[in-house]
Amino acid sequence: MSNSKTPSEAGSSSQHYRLINDIYVMLDNGDRRALLPFNLTTSQYNALLLLDDTNGQRLVQLSERLLLDKSTITRLIDQLEQAGLAQRVTDPDDRRAQRVILTPLGVERRDQAQIAHNTSLEQRMSSLSQDEQHQLYELLRKLRTGLLDDLEQQDI
């Protein structure tokens, strides 16, 4: 009797939601595969992309940029340090803070992984034409700005 199909009016938005989710999961999966040869998780890779060998980043900065908890960043940097890719340096101006820089090995790994990952991503995006990709990224850029504004609203 009460055969409950998904409310059909609401279907459209839910379909969009599934669409976004599906794509993210598949992209994430591809990212992991691309980074496997470099012994990097996507989180580690994301951190590497924000680091270099001269301008030390604070953990809090990484936390804000990656939208991960401070404690998660602590352990992420622990891993990178153990792997010999990064290094903590105490900030001379603020003894609470740690600056994270890449070791030469870290720079090398980051660059190699980045090349491989970019190639992989381009390949995976190739079902869209150059033109379509351009369109897509423009729309996403606009969306990101909107979502960021949203977030700010929430935090206030």
* Residues forming a β-bridge with 99: 58, 89
Site string for a copy of itself, 78-117 (x = CB under 8 A): ------------------------x-x--x---x--xx-x
Contacts 24+ apart (CB under 8 A), 82-85: 83/39, 85/48, 85/109, 85/110
Pick 82 or 127: Cβ nearer a copy of itself: 127
Pick 59 or 107: Cβ nearer a copy of itself: 107
How far is residue 121's CA from residue 108's CA, in Å, rounded to a whole number?
20
Site string for a copy of itself, 111-150 (x = CB under 8 A): x--xx-xx--xx-xxxxx---x--xxx-xxxxxxxxxxxx
Query: Closest Cα partner for 31 from 130, 108, 123?
Result: 123
Within 19-78, which residues bind a copy of itself (CB under 8 A)? 19-27, 29-31, 33, 46, 49, 52-54, 67
State the residue for tokens 């606009």.
142
Residue 134 touches which of DNA, a copy of itself, none (Cβ within 5-8 Å per kind):
none
> How close are the terminal C-alpha atoms of the chain, in Å?
48
Give contact residues for DNA (rule: CB under 7 A).
Answer: 41-43, 58-61, 67-77, 79, 88, 91, 93-99
